[in-house]
């Protein structure tokens, strides 16, 4: 069993909850999600789908299993421009990236994390991205820059959805390093 970034973030909030999730999953998952929790998950998924439109050449990797990891490695060998949900596992740690973009000039990658909030939460979002950064480094990937993509609180929709105006992309490389 690999430790995921979700496990890590739960651990940062409450060590006992993380222990329960890992060692007593049946107890941890015994309560159904509330309608509010379901709505947060649904909204996050919708925001991520919209943000992917910022990267039209992106390829989605589905699943979290060995086949998805093998597919990720194959796309990395081919230097695919953009991958959504690329899967990395090393030394008992598992990370799925929202967006991994290849930079041919530096032969390295840009790592993006998509958030359905309108500002950066220093305690959660940066740790989320830093966990992924460490797993990708363990896997031998060279990451040049780290970005958080979040909703632009100044955006007002007029007509069709303008995804480039809907989102803000913030370079958080120095904070992650």
Distance CA 74, CA 43 (A): 31
Closest CA to 79 of 128, 27, 141: 141
Whether residue 102 is predicted with pLDDT greater than 90 in this model: the reply is yes
Sheet of 3-4: strand order equals 3-4, 93-96, 87-90
Whether residue 4 is predicted with pLDDT greater than 90 in this model: the reply is no
* pLDDT score recorded for residue 71: 97
Query: SS3 breakdown of the chain: % helix, strand, coil, rounded to 5?
Result: 40, 25, 35
Lowest mean pLDDT among 12-16, 61-65, 95-99: 12-16
Mean pLDDT of the region 121-138: 91
- How many CA atoms are closer than 13 Å to the CA of 69, on its beta-carbon side? 11
Lowest mean pLDDT among 19-28, 61-70, 157-166: 19-28
For residue 71, give Cα distances in angstroms to 49, 129, 142.
21, 22, 19
* pLDDT score recorded for residue 43: 86
* pLDDT score recorded for residue 168: 96
Whether residue 137 is predicted with pLDDT greater than 90 in this model: the reply is yes
Mean pLDDT of the region 91-118: 95
Whether residue 144 is predicted with pLDDT greater than 80 in this model: the reply is yes
Residues present in the chain in total: 177
> Using an 8 Å Cβ cutoff, are 153 and 116 in contact?
no
Whether residue 8 is predicted with pLDDT greater than 80 in this model: the reply is no
């Amino acid at each position: 069993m690999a430790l995921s970034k979700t496990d890590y973030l739960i651990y940062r909030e409450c060590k006992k909850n993380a222990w329960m999730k890992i060692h007593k999953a049946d107890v941890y998952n015994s309560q159904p999600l509330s309608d509010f929790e379901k709505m947060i998950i649904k909204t996050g998924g919708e925001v991520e789908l919209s943000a992917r439109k910022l990267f039209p050449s992106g390829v989605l990797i589905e699943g979290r299993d060995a086949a998805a990891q093998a597919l990720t490695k194959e796309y990395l060998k081919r230097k695919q421009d953009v991958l959504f949900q690329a899967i990395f596992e090393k030394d008992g740690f598992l990370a799925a990236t929202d967006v991994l973009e290849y930079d041919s000039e530096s032969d390295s990658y840009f790592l993006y994390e998509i958030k359905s909030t309108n500002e950066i939460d220093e305690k959660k979002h940066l740790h989320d991205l830093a966990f992924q950064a460490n797993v990708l480094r363990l896997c031998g990937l060279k990451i040049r820059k780290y970005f958080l993509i979040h909703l632009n609180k100044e955006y007002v929709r007029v007509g069709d959805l303008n995804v480039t105006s809907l989102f803000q992309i913030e370079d958080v490389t120095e904070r992650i390093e």
